[in-house]
Amino acid sequence: MACAICEIRKEKRFCPAVHGRICPQCCGEQREVTLDCPSDCPYLIQAREHEKPRPADQLDAGALFLKVEVPDQFMYEREHLLMGLTFALAKAARADRNMNDRDLIAGLSALTNRYERLVNSGLHYEQPLTSDSQRRVATEVESMLKEYREAEQKHLGYSTVRESDVLKALVFLVRLAHGRTSGRPKSRAFIDFLFAQFPEKESAVLTPQEAGSRIILP
């Protein structure tokens, strides 16, 4: 039997994306490029295990917000904020099963641009988001920030989160996303990473400044 994609080479493996059997070459070349590979595909999982991180020179330096410094200490001091925002991204992706890494990164980057402008100039200029997925990401992130600040206000009497903290947290997540995705058009590697951090049946963790304390959100 011939491969369902090229119709030339011999088929050797079942592809859930085309619901048919394909050759290894088409699998490797079209994986997450033209094929919407499900996350549980064994060939996708195997490929990710052996895939090397993309070299820095393959990444757009501007997309990484290199002018924004995110010290290592920040990740420890704002671990709870980062956890809440990471959950917000997972929640946005889970609500839109058609979302891929590029969609999520585009929404996250647009929001980061907004906060960078706010921190540097004080301007509350909101650039229109171009897709439903971008708007979903922005909505979930802003909602989580609001709940986080309200939780701090309740437990501490004030909120410690500044706009510059939010910017650093968003930049950290943008860089993490670029590091985790394969860069292919239909990649969901970063989204699958988020889902692994927050399984569907578990709740998010939003934490005030109390060490070890957890506020469980629905």
pLDDT tens track for 151-179: 988 888 988 999 999 999 999 999 999 98
Distance of CA 51 to the CA centre of its chain: 18
pLDDT in tens, the chain (218 residues): 899 999 999 999 999 999 999 999 999 999 999 999 999 999 999 999 988 777 667 777 788 999 999 999 998 999 999 999 999 999 999 999 899 999 999 999 999 999 999 998 866 666 667 788 889 999 999 999 999 999 988 888 988 999 999 999 999 999 999 989 998 999 999 999 999 999 876 544 444 333 333 333 32
pLDDT in the model for residue 125: 63
Using a 10 angstrom Cβ sphere, with 0-12 exposed, 13-18 middle and 19 or more buried, the burial of residue 212 is: exposed
Tokens found for residue 99: 């979302």
